[in-house]
Amino acid sequence: MKKLLCLIGTIVVISSCQTESKHDVLLHINHSNKLELLYVDSKCGEWGGNEQELIIYRDEFESPLLADYSEKTKMCSTNELKDSISIKRIKITEEESNLIIESINELCKSKMSREKVPPHGGILYHFMLSDSSMIIRDFPSVELKNFAALVLKIKQK
């Protein structure tokens, strides 16, 4: 009986010491502060090209992350953008949250590890929080593998 009480006491102490393993990422994003991830390819040279845009947000402070995804196709002859894909209110998983952070890190590392060259065309990445506390713009840039993986996952939903 004494051993049983000791065992139950140990289990209670161990379970009370454990905290929920909740991986909170992107807490700066809330209902009033959205993260915009924009990619523009070089289809039309120095006039830009097709656009892929992800808007990451929350409905309320403690609600899960959501995303709106859109693609626009550029007509080079008229310089006009036409909506081609629009997906609203996509629930973001932990894996996709990690891809968002990795995309931001990859863009920063890529931008800071290249010399500045005069742009005459190329791809553009523009990552920005709506409160302007973070703005990363890289032109001309290089393809970001993590952003491409994130977009692929979002489009499969």
pLDDT digits 0-9 by tens, 31-52? 889 999 999 998 988 788 999 9
Which DSSP string corresponds to 125-136? EEEEETTSS-EE
pLDDT for the residue 20: 44
What is the residue extent of each domain of the chain? 25-155
- What gap in Å lies between CA 139 and CA 141, rounded to an integer? 5
pLDDT for the residue 133: 93
pLDDT for the residue 14: 56
Query: What are 104-109's contacts with CB under 8 Å, separation 24+?
Result: 104/136, 106/144, 106/145, 106/146, 106/147, 107/136, 107/138, 107/141, 107/144, 107/147, 108/136
- Joined tokens for residue 44: 């039309």
Cβ atoms of 52 and 39 within 8 Å: the answer is yes
pLDDT for the residue 145: 96
- What gap in Å lies between CA 13 and CA 24, rounded to an integer? 25
- Residue (of 37, 32, 88, 90) closest to 61 by Cα position: 32
**Which 3 state secondary structure label does DSSP give 82?**
strand
pLDDT under 50 in the chain at which residues? 18-22
- What gap in Å lies between CA 111 and CA 74, rounded to an integer? 25
pLDDT for the residue 15: 55
